[in-house]
Amino acid sequence: MPEADIPARAPRDTLPVTAGRLRLAIAALLDVALHARPQPVNARLLAERHGLPPRHLETVLQALVRHGLLKGVRGPRGGYELARERRRISLGDTARAVAGDAAPETPEAAGLSALAEPTLAAAQAAFLAALDAVSVEDLCRQAGGQSPPPLPAAFDI
């Protein structure tokens, strides 16, 4: 196909986030939303509750802090708490926060993938619209406000 026949590439606003990473981020936000009172949720305890090594969870928590969804509290009783009201945090915000960088494309792949850009953009818009329609508050209500028994307090983040 001659280069003139390949559509111009739209500005890339992709959302390459794995389902596992997104589920982990949502689970972390919900855990914090349900357990951060009266004190912040300790990262080590959060990792234990989800059966993960703390280093794995920490990258997700840092992304959520960088995007203003969580805030870190330092000190002996520190941890994480929501940076905004539950109703003001959507699952779309969460997906955007944990989205990774797109892999670089070769010129050949870029030309061919440009053909799929309109379809991919429409799919991404529908995906984000569905996630934007659901807030952390909605999920907390679905959980019925029930939370597992509180874990013992820890003194590190």
Residue range 45-85, pLDDT digits in tens: 899 988 888 888 999 999 999 999 999 999 888 899 999 99
Residue 108 belongs to a domain: yes
Answer yes or no: is pLDDT of 152 > 60.
no
pTM, rounded to two decimals:
0.73
Q: How many domains does the chain have?
A: 1
Q: Is 116 left (phi over 0), alpha (psi -120 to 50) or beta?
A: alpha
Domain assignment of residue 152, yes or no: no
For residue 7, is it within any domain? no
User: Which one is predicted more confidently, 117 or 92?
Assistant: 92
* Half-sphere exposure of residue 70: CA atoms within 13 angstroms, side-chain side: 32
Q: Residue 111: CA atoms inside 13 Å, Cβ hemisphere, count?
A: 8
Residue 8 — very low, low, confident or very high, per pLDDT cuts 50/70/90?
Answer: very low
**Which residues constitute the domain of residue 106?**
14-142
Is residue 8 assigned to a domain? Answer: no
In a domain, residue 155? The reply is: no
- The answer as to whether 9 is a domain residue is no
151 or 60, higher pLDDT: 60
Which burial class, exposed, middle or buried, applies to 70 when counting CB atoms under 10 A from its CB (0-12, 13-18, 19+)? buried
pLDDT for 30 equals: 93
Q: What is the CATH number of the domain that holds 24?
A: 1.10.10.10
With 70 as the cut, is the pLDDT of residue 149 above it? no
Query: Across the chain, what does the average pLDDT equal?
Result: 79
Q: How far apart are CA 87 and CA 22, in angstroms?
A: 19
Is residue 6 in a domain?
Answer: no
| Secondary structure element (H or E) that encloses residue 22, with its range | helix 19-35
The residue among 85 and 119 whose pLDDT is bigger is: 85
| Per-residue model confidence (pLDDT) at position 20 | 84
In a domain, residue 153? The reply is no
